[in-house]
């Protein structure tokens, strides 16, 4: 076996430039696949993490009759005495943060410009607000007793052409179905680098949100972050009680998981296409070697070398090309993914409701993706090399000696 690979290496070394280019084609193909897999993983994981931090949390407690799509503000659809329930949930060891939030639809108007938004009432002292606090680009964060302040996303502020200290009018629904209008001052402008979220979400203190919507001591949901995401099911079971429904981050992010499954199915097809193109280079290299070495193959066959041994020789050459190309491809792909894992791809304002994407996608290359794609690349390359190997093995010694 060792002698066979020595002979295969010598044969490849005869035309070093062609062999290097063939192996390099495998490297580029594998590096491209690793980058695609890493970007897809980064996109999906980034979307899930962003949605958990900003929208869903790991868990939410809602009234059993609450329908998110309607953003109902009726008292029977809301969580009563949310602070009391939050204190009980906070006592669970696995829980990191619990905070009440109130959601309402509204319209922000400035002059003759108006834009529909989601009004979110928050507890300004909660650690769950960290992404907003860290994302402040100007102004200050809210305080619990602020009755005139509002926080606005940078994209929304740009569309309305307003800045910190400017006054805006907010029209919001109330619990009895009326619409109320009130003036607010922009206390701060934030950016979470998630344009879809930033251009549609405004924040006011929870007490003010309850006052303007006439919901008093009620909240739409309790927003819960855990110390360990793997404890989601256990905490959900511990919280479960009559009159409430407990939603996990998996329940609330079904669109993301479905999109990931669909993307993975399409990506597998793309993987095969890229590898097929790459394998074609190996096939062409070996076919050219067969035609160039027809007389040599005839000599080997005439001195007793069997067809399966000749076939094994060409498969050994293909293996060396594949292994060399794959090794360099893994290194090249890892370096590329390392770069884009740090600096990301800027994609700007892309995303839809239910699928929050930041303005950058950061590549995440996993060990499992690397191993799987490496094995697939090796198998596809070796399978593709079977044709030239069989072609060489089937040459008749007499015809091969005459170069036919």
Sequence spans of domains, the chain:
2-51+256-401, 65-242
- Which of the pair, 126 or 302, is modelled with greater confidence? 126
Residue 404 has pLDDT above 60, yes or no: no
Mean pLDDT across the stretch 203-214? 93
pLDDT in tens, 276-290: 777 787 777 777 776
Rounded-to-integer distance, Cα 197 and Cα 105, Å = 14
Token match 């070093």: residue? 16
Question: Considering the chain, what percentage of its residues have pLDDT values greater than 70?
Answer: 88
Q: 10-19, 39-48, 152-161, 317-326: lowest mean pLDDT where?
A: 10-19
pLDDT in tens, 42-65: 888 888 888 889 988 999 999 888
Residue 328 has pLDDT above 60, yes or no: yes
> 311 pLDDT band (50/70/90 cuts)?
confident
Predicted pLDDT at 302: 65
- Which of the pair, 228 or 302, is modelled with greater confidence? 228
Rounded-to-integer distance, Cα 397 and Cα 404, Å = 10
> What kind and span of H or E run contains 85?
helix 82-90
Residue 188 has pLDDT above 70, yes or no: yes
**Average pLDDT in the chain:** 84
Residue 299 has pLDDT above 70, yes or no: no
Predicted pLDDT at 352: 53
Rounded-to-integer distance, Cα 398 and Cα 400, Å = 5
Within 8 A by CB and 6+ apart from 124, the residues are 141, 142, 143, 144, 146, 205
Q: 68-77, 132-141, 169-178, 332-341: lowest mean pLDDT where?
A: 68-77
Pair type for strands 95-110 and 136-139 = unpaired
- Which of the pair, 13 or 219, is modelled with greater confidence? 219
Q: Where are the beta strands (DSSP E) in 127-260?
A: 136-139, 149-153, 167-173, 179-190, 201-205, 218-219, 221-226, 244-248
Residue 140 is classified by DSSP as -
Q: Are 25 and 281 in contact (CB under 8 A)?
A: yes
Count Cβ neighbours within 10 Å for each residue of 289-315 and write b for 16 or more, e otherwise.
bbeebbeebbebbeeebeeeebbbbbb
> 296 pLDDT band (50/70/90 cuts)?
low
Residue 400 has pLDDT above 70, yes or no: no
Q: Are 63 and 78 in contact (CB under 8 A)?
A: yes
> Residue 87: exposed, middle, or buried by beta-carbon count in 10 A (0-12, 13-18, 19+)?
exposed
Residue 363 is classified by DSSP as -
- Which of the pair, 264 or 252, is modelled with greater confidence? 252
Predicted pLDDT at 305: 67
- Which of the pair, 11 or 86, is modelled with greater confidence? 86
Within 8 A by CB and 6+ apart from 319, the residues are 5, 8, 382
> What kind and span of H or E run contains 270?
helix 254-292
Rounded-to-integer distance, Cα 72 and Cα 6, Å = 75
Predicted pLDDT at 336: 94
- Which of the pair, 243 or 161, is modelled with greater confidence? 161
- Which of the pair, 403 or 106, is modelled with greater confidence? 106
Question: Considering the chain, what percentage of its residues have pLDDT values greater than 90?
Answer: 36
Rounded-to-integer distance, Cα 153 and Cα 200, Å = 8
pLDDT in tens, 139-187: 999 999 999 999 999 999 999 999 999 999 999 888 888 888 899 999 9
Q: Report the range out of 45-54, 148-157, 353-362, 377-386 with the highest average pLDDT.
A: 148-157
Rounded-to-integer distance, Cα 380 and Cα 363, Å = 25
Q: Six-digit token pair at 85?
A: 């329930």
Q: Could you tell me the CA-to-CA distances from 211 to 117, 286, 351 in Å, in that order?
A: 18, 78, 33
**Closest to 322 (Cα-Cα) out of 272, 374, 271, 388:** 374
Residue 351 has pLDDT above 70, yes or no: no
Q: How much of the chain is in helix, strand and coil states, percent to nearest 5?
A: 55, 20, 25
Predicted pLDDT at 284: 79
């Amino acid at each position: 076996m060792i002698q066979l690979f020595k002979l295969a290496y010598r044969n490849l070394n005869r035309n070093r430039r062609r062999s290097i280019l063939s192996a390099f084609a495998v490297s580029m193909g594998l590096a491209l696949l690793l980058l695609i897999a890493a970007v897809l993983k980064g996109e999906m994981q980034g979307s899930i993490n962003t949605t958990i931090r900003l929208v869903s949390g790991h868990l939410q407690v809602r009234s059993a009759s609450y329908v998110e799509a309607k953003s109902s503000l009726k008292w029977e659809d809301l969580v009563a005495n949310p602070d009391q329930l939050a204190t009980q949930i906070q006592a669970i060891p696995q829980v990191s943060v619990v905070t009440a939030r109130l959601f309402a639809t509204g319209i922000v108007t400035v002059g003759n410009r108006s834009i529909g938004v989601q009004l979110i009432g928050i507890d300004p002292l909660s650690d769950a607000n960290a992404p907003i606090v860290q994302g402040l680009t100007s102004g200050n964060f809210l305080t619990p007793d602020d009755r005139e302040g509002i926080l606005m996303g940078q994209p929304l502020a740009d569309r309305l052409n307003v800045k910190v200290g400017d006054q805006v009018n907010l029209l919001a629904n109330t619990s009895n179905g009326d619409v109320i209008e009130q003036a607010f001052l922009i206390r701060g402008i934030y950016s979470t680098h998630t344009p879809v979220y930033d251009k549609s979400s405004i924040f006011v203190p929870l007490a003010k949100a309850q006052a303007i919507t006439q919901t008093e001591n009620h909240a739409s949901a309790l927003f819960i972050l855990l110390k360990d995401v793997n404890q989601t099911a256990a905490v959900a079971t511990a919280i479960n009680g009559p009159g409430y429904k407990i939603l996990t981050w998996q329940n609330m992010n079904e669109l993301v998981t479905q999109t990931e499954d669909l993307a993975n199915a399409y990506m597998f097809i793309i993987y095969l296409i890229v590898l097929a193109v790459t394998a074609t280079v190996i096939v062409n290299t070996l076919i050219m070697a067969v035609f160039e070495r027809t007389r040599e193959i005839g000599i080997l066959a005439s001195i007793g070398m069997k067809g399966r041994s000749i076939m094994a020789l060409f498969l050994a050459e293909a293996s060396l090309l594949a292994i060399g190309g794959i090794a360099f491809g893994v290194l090249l792909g890892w370096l590329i993914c390392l770069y884009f894992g740090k600096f990301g791809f800027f994609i700007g304002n892309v995303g839809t409701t239910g699928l929050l994407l930041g303005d950058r996608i950061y590549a995440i290359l996993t060990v499992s993706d690397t191993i799987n794609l490496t094995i697939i690349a090796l198998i596809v390359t070796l399978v593709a090399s079977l044709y030239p190997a069989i072609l060489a093995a089937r040459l008749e010694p007499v015809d091969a000696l005459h170069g036919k």
